[in-house]
Amino acid sequence: MRKAIFPGTFDPFTIGHYSVVERALTFMDEIVIGIGINENKNTYFPIEKREEMIRELYKDEPRITVMSYDCLTIDFAQEVGARFIVRGIRTVKDFEYEETIADINRKLAGIETILLFTEPELTCVSSTIVRELLTYNKDISQFIPKGMKMSE
């Protein structure tokens, strides 16, 4: 059984995140979308709302579980029995950061990281930008998965 976690803050969950999950489902048996709790980050949506939105999005996909966690990502992976971490890469800067973390995770816990490059048309989409658009009451529907309910 190939089980992975897809960790992130997901504030909010974007079409880029959705693309990574859909592509990872082609080679993973199960994916746990892990919403990391980081008290140092100013989030737009509370953790409970992010969990609810993502769970609702994947309610008909039995291979997806949504959970929040407040520990190291590798500890969370071990807790849920995942041997892989799936991450999306948009830029060279993302790659350099993720490579370092992947090396540490492999050394500490033997957990492999699978990096998926963002589809070219999605490289401009980030949660940070979508959050800023939300702050200014802009329509974000083109940047979030179809069917995702975003009411606060």
- Residue set of the binding site for ATP: 9-10, 17, 88-90, 98, 122-128
Q: What is the DSSP letter of 85?
A: E
C-alpha to C-alpha distance for 98 and 60, rounded to whole angstroms: 30
Burial of 148 (0-12, 13-18, 19+ CB in 10 A): middle
Q: Give just the sign of the alpha carbon dihedral 112, 100, 20, 44.
A: positive
Annotated binding site for substrate: 9, 41, 73, 87
C-alpha to C-alpha distance for 52 and 122, rounded to whole angstroms: 24
Answer whether 66's CB lies under 8 Å from 30's CB: no
DSSP count for the chain of H helices, then E strands: 5, 5
Annotated binding site: 9-10, 17, 41, 73, 87-90, 98, 122-128
